[in-house]
Amino acid sequence: MKNVDRREFLTVSASATTLAPAFGALEVPLMNRPKVLIIIGDATETVDTLYPYYRLIEGGYAPIVAGPEKRVFQMVMHEVKPGWTITKEWEGYSIAADIAFKDIKPEEYAGIFFSGGRAPEYIREDQDLLRITRWFWENKRPMASVCHGVEIPARAGIVKGLRMATVAKCKFDLEVCGGIYVNEPCVIDQHMYSGRTYHDHGYYIGPWIKALDASSRNG
C-alpha cells in the first residue's frame, strides 16, 4: 500500500466532513468554515495539539496548523512518571503545518491557540509569530494557551497584569514578563483562555470555543 502522509489524509478526510444536524447548523465543508490557528513547532506536545484540533472541527471551525516553516513537525508526549521530579519525553505523532508564520494574515482567522511542549521555548523568538500574537491581542480575538504555550504571549509582551494558568515550571516566564500566575484548570482574563497542562483541556477549551462562536457572530 502506498505510504500516505497522515496529516494529508486527515485534512482530505476532514474536508469532506460536515457539521452534524445536532449542531443546528447547515452542512459546511471544512474549507468554508471560520479558520483558527494552532501554533506548533518541533517537540510540540501531542495531546496539547490534537485535542484542540479535533474539538475545533467538532465545533464548526477549520483548524489551521502553523509552524516556523510549512513542513512536517515531530510532536512529543510529556508526562511526569511516578518517582520522577522532571518531565519524561516520548516521541509522538508527526503533523504537517498548513502555513508558515511569515505567510499568515491574522485578519483571516477567528482565533489562535498556543500549544505546549518544548516548541514554544524555541519558536518564541520568531518575529512573525510575535507580530501575529500581538495582532490577536490588540484586536481582541479569542486566544488560548496551555502549558509552555504561555512563553509565546509572554515574549510578545502582552501579559502585563494578565491572569493566566500555565504549568508550574513556567510560572517564572509568565511573572517576569508582568503576568499573574493562577494555579487553576481554567483561567479567563479578557479574551485570553488558559490551562495548566493537557489535563485541563476539558475545562478551558469549551469556554474558548464559546468565545469563538460569539466573536464570529459579532464579526
What are the DSSP calls for 13-47, one per residue? HHHT----GGGTS----GGGSPEEEEE--TTEEHH
Q: What is the mean pLDDT of residues 39-68?
A: 97
Domain 6-145+200-218 sits in CATH 3.30.70.20? no
Highest mean pLDDT: which of 22-36, 44-58, 68-82, 85-99? 44-58
Mean pLDDT for the chain? 88
Q: What value does the mean pLDDT take over residues 161-175? A: 97
Residue 100 pairs in a beta bridge with 67
Say what the pLDDT of residue 192 is: 98
| Pairwise CA distance, residues 219 & 216, whole Å | 5
Cα–Cα dist 127/144, whole Å: 20
Among residues 52, 41, 46, 40, which one has the least CA distance to residue 91? Answer: 46
Check residue 81 and give its pLDDT.
82
Residue 15, pLDDT score: 33
What residue segments make up the domains of the chain, in order of their start? 6-145+200-218
| 46-71: average pLDDT | 97
d(CA 102, CA 132): 9
pLDDT at residue 88 in the model? 82
Give, for 79, the enclosing helix (H) or strand (E): strand 72-79
User: Residue 11 — very low, low, confident or very high, per pLDDT cuts 50/70/90?
Assistant: very low
Residue with C-alpha cell 520568531? 126
Q: Kindly give the pairing relationship between strand 44-45 and strand 109-114.
A: unpaired
Contact 114, 130 (CB under 8 A): no
Q: Give Cα separations from 139 to 39, 135, 143, 145, 210 (angstroms).
A: 18, 6, 11, 17, 18
**Beta strands 163-164 and 35-39, pairing class:** unpaired
Q: What gap in Å lies between CA 124 and CA 213, rounded to an integer?
A: 28
Tens digits of per-residue pLDDT, 115-145? 999 999 999 999 999 999 999 999 999 999 9
Choice between 63 and 19, residue whose per-residue pLDDT is larger: 63
Q: How many residues does the chain have?
A: 219
Structure confidence at residue 219 as a pLDDT band (50, 70, 90): low
